[in-house]
Each structure stands twice: as structure tokens, then as C-alpha cells.
Amino acid sequence: MPSTDSKLPISSKPLGVTVSVSVASRYSVNCAMSQAVRAVKNASVRIPPPAHPTYDIKRVIKEALLEDAGDKGDVTSIATIPPDVQAEAQFLAKDSGVIAGIEMANMIFEEVDPSLKMDWSVEDGDVLSKGLQFGSVFGSARSILTAERVVLNFMQRMSGVATLTKAMAEAAKPARILETRKTVPGLRLIDKWAVLIGGGDNHRLGLFDMVLVKDNHIAVAGGVAKAVAAVAQHLQKNNLDIGVEIETRTLDEVKEVLAHKGEGLGRVTRIMLDNMVVPLPNGDVDVSMLKQAVELVDGQLETEASGNVTLVTVNKIGATGVTFISSGALTHSVKALDISLNVDTELALSVGRRTKSA
């Protein structure tokens, strides 16, 4: 990777755009949807990231590379590998799961060195079997090794999120699985992109795109009715046409929301049924309260179950008739999928067999 004082062309194969910027520069926050997100969404990408008004995927990639390369670059590769040496490295799945991060890898490699060539046998969202070689990158050996860890860090985390999401989404049917805002700071859009790749749905991206009145808001506002009325007044005054969700913890609160749900702009569109799934000593859960709440709502609003959601309980929760089930664990407790990138593929496979990781 050239020194951080140089100007690097930024080019990503799926994006088809080229811009010259200083690697050490910081991007200003764009008030419109970021160029990087727009470009990815407009390209022929199997599962594009969610749209966010200020998030810039390229900036996140550049910060990750700068964090790793510092002010001197990859001193090990510079010291041990002549600049003209070419290499090919293979991606190896060391565990089974859903692959996510192919498009991120493309953008990272091409940020480091636009001459690198990537070849994939899978797409984001495909299921990998342990031991599968599923992609390769060819070009400057220095560039490949400079990008390696950043590529794998994103890909392994995204694949872990996508793998858990797929399992939860399948078990939750007919309900739809959502993540929450419990994401790694700075990686919100990346985490939520991985959820989409895994077959889940996105909850609100942040504080700006949906009203979610929770217990603390209700306490400060003076009760459910006052909170709902204040939301409707604010949205109508500012002509904001966004969803409104109210958190409830009891059946009486559910009834109160239904009595004040409103009409037109600012109306309540979804009700959160929080902690109405009760754990039992035998490891099972009692969903009777949740089922009663769903019956009270009777299709008037979308419903969202939250609390005590696991792979073991999600099927029973989904069978109550709720519209959505939200789980913070999709992003805050994810186990990364084990993936490696190896120049000497035969050696990597033999080591993998010896350690039972491939």
C-alpha cells in the first residue's frame, strides 16, 4: 500500500466510479444519502445495503485500512516481498455458514490496489460448506497481504451475523426477524447489511427514521396517552411521514395504545410487546401473555415481540401471530464465521485437516 501521503484512486468493480482523494483525509458528513451507498444500491449487487442519509461505506473502509496501516504501511510485507512479486490467494471456509461481505471485499481490495483481480464462485447470501474454496484474488502480493486482515475482519463478522440471522429467520416464520440498534459503533450499516444478506429485515437504522416511544419516553412524557399525542403533534407540525412504534409491557398498556392510536399522519403504526415471553424453569417459555396481546391488537397495528428471543424460543414466539420478532443478539453477540485467505492453499488445507478446521 503506498504511503498515506499519496493520492490513491478509489475504484470498486461493482460501483464503476473513480475518485482521487488523500488517504489521510477525513470525509465530511454528507447530508444526502452517501455516494457509496447509492452506488452500491444502483449496481448489479445481489443484496444491496440499506440506504442511510449520512453513512459512507468508503469512509468506513478507508478508516479501517488507515487503522491497520498507520503512517508507515505494511512494514512486514514491504520488508519481505519485492514490489513486483505477483501472487494468488484463495479464500477458504473453515466452518459452514452463510457468506456475507463479498461486495465489501471487492471494495476493500480495490481501495488498496485497483489492479487486483477478484474471482468468486459464490455470492452474498449463499451457504458455504466447511472446507470450500470459494474465491480468489490475484495481483501484487504486497497489496493482497495489506488488505487481508481488513477484508477478513469484515467478512467474518458479516458472515457470522448473516448465519445467525438465517437460522433465526427460518425458525421465526411466519413472523419476520429484525435486528436492533445494538450494533458496533461505526459499523451500524455494515451489521444491518449482513442481516439483510442473512434473510432478515431491518428495524430502524437510527434515531431519525422511525419514532420508537419506549418506557423512558413514556415515563418522562407522563404516560402512554400523552406520549402518543405529543408524537402526533410533532410529526404533523413538521410534515414527517415516518413510522411510529410504542413499547408496551402490560396488557393494560396495549389497550391504552389501541385507544389512542390515532389516524393519518402521526398515527401509531406498530406496537412493541416487550418481555411478554416468560422463561420457565424447564428452559421453555410461556407465550400466553404475548398471544393475548396479539389477539387484542387483532391486526389493527403491526406487532413486534421483544425480549427472551433465542434460537430455542423464536419458533414458539413466531407461532403467536406477531408480525415481527426483534433480537439484539443478531449483532451484539455474534460469533464470527471462520474464514481464511491463503497464498499457499495446499499447505493451508493440510494444516486445516490437522487442526480439524477445514
Report whether pLDDT(7) > 70.
no
Report whether pLDDT(4) > 70.
no
Q: How many domains does the chain have?
A: 2
Provide the grid cell at 87: 501472487
Q: Residue 299 belongs to a domain with what CATH number?
A: 3.20.20.70
pLDDT value, residue 140: 95
pLDDT value, residue 348: 54
Q: Is residue 247 part of a domain?
A: yes
- Tell me, yes or no, if 291 is annotated catalytic: no
Task: Name the catalytic one among 26, 46, 117, 214.
Answer: 214
Closest CA to 170 of 138, 199, 196, 128: 199
In this structure, the answer to whether residues 312 and 343 fall within a common structural domain is no
Query: How deeply is 283 buried, as exposed, middle or buried, from its count of CB atoms within 10 A (0-12, 13-18, 19+)?
Result: exposed
Q: Is residue 327 part of a domain?
A: yes
The torsion angles phi and psi of 3, rounded to 5 degrees, stand at -60, 160
Provide the grid cell at 154: 469484515
* Residue 160 host element (H or E): helix 141-172
In this structure, the answer to whether residues 150 and 254 fall within a common structural domain is no
pLDDT value, residue 8: 35
Rounded Cα gap, residues 56 and 27, in angstroms: 9
Give the rounded distance of the alpha carbon of 229 from its chain centre: 33
pLDDT digits (tens, 9 = 90+) for 256-298: 999 999 999 999 999 999 999 999 999 899 999 999 999 999 9
Peptide bond before residue 49 is cis, with ω within 30 degrees of 0? no
Task: Name the catalytic one among 13, 182, 204, 267.
Answer: 182
pLDDT value, residue 347: 62
Rounded Cα gap, residues 223 and 215, in angstroms: 9
Q: Is residue 295 part of a domain?
A: yes
Domain carrying residue 125: 7-159+338-355
% the chain with pLDDT above 70: 85
In this structure, the answer to whether residues 266 and 126 fall within a common structural domain is no
Closest CA to 338 of 123, 64, 91: 91
pLDDT value, residue 356: 74
Q: Residue 12 belongs to a domain with what CATH number?
A: 3.90.1170.20
- CB-based contact 101:155 (threshold 8 Å): yes
Cell 410504542, located at residue: 246
In this structure, the answer to whether residues 73 and 110 fall within a common structural domain is yes
Report whether pLDDT(92) > 50.
yes
- Tell me, yes or no, if 214 is annotated catalytic: yes
- Tell me, yes or no, if 182 is annotated catalytic: yes
Q: Is residue 191 part of a domain?
A: no
In this structure, the answer to whether residues 111 and 244 fall within a common structural domain is no
In this structure, the answer to whether residues 117 and 93 fall within a common structural domain is yes
In this structure, the answer to whether residues 141 and 220 fall within a common structural domain is no
In this structure, the answer to whether residues 321 and 226 fall within a common structural domain is yes
In this structure, the answer to whether residues 303 and 246 fall within a common structural domain is yes
Report whether pLDDT(14) > 80.
no
In this structure, the answer to whether residues 269 and 350 fall within a common structural domain is no
- Tell me, yes or no, if 274 is annotated catalytic: yes
| Range in 21-35, 276-290, 344-358 the model is least confident about | 21-35
pLDDT value, residue 3: 38
Closest CA to 159 of 107, 68, 91: 91
Whole-structure pTM value: 0.86
- Tell me, yes or no, if 247 is annotated catalytic: yes
In this structure, the answer to whether residues 24 and 57 fall within a common structural domain is yes
In this structure, the answer to whether residues 134 and 19 fall within a common structural domain is yes
54: helix, coil or strand? coil
- CB-based contact 98:198 (threshold 8 Å): yes
Q: Is residue 174 part of a domain?
A: no
Q: Is residue 168 part of a domain?
A: no
The stretch 140-161 carries a mean pLDDT of 97
Strand 176-178 vs strand 127-128: parallel, antiparallel, or unpaired?
A: unpaired
Task: Name the catalytic one among 247, 253, 304, 338.
Answer: 247
pLDDT band at 353 (very low <50, low <70, confident <90, very high): confident
